[in-house]
Structures are given as C-alpha cells and as structure tokens.
Amino acid sequence: MIDMSSVIVDIKNLQREFKVGNEVVRALDDVSFSINAGEFITIMGSSGSGKTTLLNILGCLDKPTGGEYLLDGTQVSKLSKTELARLRNQKLGFVFQSYNLLARTSAIENIELPLLYNARFSARERREKAMAALAAVKLTDRMNHLPNQLSGGQQQRVAIARALVNDPVMILADEATGNLDSRTSYEIMMLIQELNNDQGKTIVFVTHEPDIAAFSKRTITLRDGRILKDHINRDVQNAKDVLKNLSPITAPSNIAT
C-alpha cells in the first residue's frame, strides 16, 4: 500500500552546539537515524533531552553545527536562510502546541496561508486545496469561523489542515496535544492515525507523554542529546478504540468536536 522503501529523512552524526557565555553546550551529540515515507514516529524525552532542538533541525528552522541532514534528497546543512524558507514552504507542515492560528482570520484563510507564500498557486487553486485540507480534518462546515469561535480541538484540526495544505513530505508536530484534554487529545491522535494510515502521510510527533507515543509505530527516545532508544512499536494503540472505551460520563460536555 505504501512505499516504505523511499527515505525522506536521512540524518548522520548530527551535532548541534550552542555557545552559552564561554561554555559550549552540546544539545545534540552524534545523532543518526532515518525516516521512510509513511512512518509515524514519536520523539520522546524529558526536557533538556534535545528533542526540541532535533525538531527545529528536522523542520529546517535551525541548522546543525555538524553532521548531515538529507531531507527528501536535499542536503539541508548547506542551504541559505531563503532556501530553508522555501524548503519549509514546500516540503514541511508544522503543528504547534498552541495552534498558532492567525486571530480574527477565518479557518479557510488560515489554511490558505502557506500557499500565499508560494507564487505557483492561483487564488482558485489555493481555495480548492484549502477546502480539500479542511475536508480531510472534517471541518468543512466551519470554513468561515474565526479561531475564537472554535473549540481547542477544532482549532488544532484547522492547524493540521494548514500543515496538510501544501502536500508536505513530512508533518512535524510539537506537543500537538499538550493543550487539550484527554478525550480531545485522542480525537486528534485518531485524525493523525487516519492521515498516516489512509493517506500515507509521514508524521514526526514530539511528545513527553507515553500514552500519546503508544499511538505511533516507532519511538525515538532521547536523553542528554543522544538517542537512548529507537524502537518499533509492536503494540500500536488504535485511538478510535481508546475513544470508544472512554466512559462517556467522564467526557466534558462543553467540548464540541
């Protein structure tokens, strides 16, 4: 069903050092791994383990000080800021913990935003692609709603649609369920599992919650800037089943999804 052989991310001996005063802090030290198309990976670790630094580098927001990072065939380490911006625009999708939607801007316009920074798309193409992304997160009926008219879960789904709209090779999520209650978290995880299983989207999900990591197919655990563990999850939880088993009484009634 999914071509597992194509490598999207290839990281070799990755290093990232920060200078703090006179001291050099090594946030990432000799990290190597690769990601194939269609994978759903969680990156775990306590704070200070280097998982945010790794995500920034994966997201082309930051450059490594050593080692190699190959993203979809492009050597990222040598790119200029402008080229990094283009790479983010065309190959990556971001989902943040705090959604980061533009205030007073409708859902559909928020989703269109990445395409506005790409001269290739006409206004009609932008609208069509944004509508398709909105349909993929099942919020077509909320296209003209403003962020403050949407629940947290709905806002995060709009953010996911925004990450999908440019057909990225990889979606990067940074604690994307961190601001949501468990039921809504599971609903978001269900959506992400669907995107991964049905549409073959490659997903890298940074979290520190083990029960969220349980929904992914593979988990990389970091500690002190090094990979502590990189294992395939043999017992992937299905978010749909977890939701079904959740007692309806415990569900907060004011959360609408």
Partner 1 sequence: MKMANLLRIAWRAINRNRMRTFLTMLGIIIGVAAVIAMTAIGQGSKQSIQKQISGMGSNMITIRPNSNVTGGVRMDNTSVQSLTEQDITALQKQPEYIDAISPSVTSRGQVINGPYNWATSMQGVFPEYLAIRGWPLLDGVSFTSQDIKSAAKVCLLGQTVLNNLFPNGEDALGKIIRFKNIPFKIIGVLSKKGENTFGQDQDDVILAPVNTVQKRVLATTYYQNIFVSAIDENATDKAAAEIQQVLRTSHRLAKGTDNDFTVRTQAELINTFSATSQILTILLTVIAGISLLVGGIGIMNIMYVSVTERTKEIGLRMSIGARGIDILLQFLIEAILISITGGVLGAGLGIVATRLVTFFIHWPTLVTEYSVIISFLVCFITGVFFGYYPALKASRLDPIEALHYE
CB atoms within 10 A of CB 80: 8
- Least separation in angstroms between residue 54's CB and partner 1 is 13
* Binding region for partner 1 (CB under 8 A): 56, 59, 61-62, 81-82, 85-86, 88-90, 94, 96, 100, 102-105, 109, 113-114, 116-119, 162, 166
Which C-beta is closer to partner 1: that of 33 or that of 96?
Answer: 96
Report the C-alpha gap between 108 and 127 in whole angstroms.
8
- Least separation in angstroms between residue 166's CB and partner 1 is 8
- Least separation in angstroms between residue 194's CB and partner 1 is 23
- Least separation in angstroms between residue 104's CB and partner 1 is 4
Which C-beta is closer to partner 1: that of 122 or that of 238?
Answer: 122
Which C-beta is closer to partner 1: that of 34 or that of 117?
Answer: 117
Three-class HEC string of the chain: CCCCCCEEEEEEEEEEEEEECCEEEEEEEEEEEEEECCCEEEEECCCCCCHHHHHHHHCCCCCCCEEEEEECCEEHHHCCHHHHHHHHHHHEEEECCCCCCCCCCCHHHHHHHHHHCCCCCCHHHHHHHHHHHHHHCCCHHHCCCCHHHCCHHHHHHHHHHHHHCCCCCEEEEECCCCCCCHHHHHHHHHHHHHHHHHHCCCEEEECCCHHHHCCCCEEEEEECCEEEEEEECCCCCCHHHHHHHCCHHHCCCCCCC
For 56-67, letters b (16+ CB in 10 Å) and e give bbbbbebebbeb
- Least separation in angstroms between residue 20's CB and partner 1 is 15
Which residues have CB under 8 Å from 244's CB, separation 6+? none
Which C-beta is closer to partner 1: that of 44 or that of 101?
Answer: 101
Which C-beta is closer to partner 1: that of 101 or that of 242?
Answer: 101
- Least separation in angstroms between residue 178's CB and partner 1 is 13
- Least separation in angstroms between residue 113's CB and partner 1 is 6
Which C-beta is closer to partner 1: that of 90 or that of 197?
Answer: 90
Which C-beta is closer to partner 1: that of 55 or that of 139?
Answer: 55
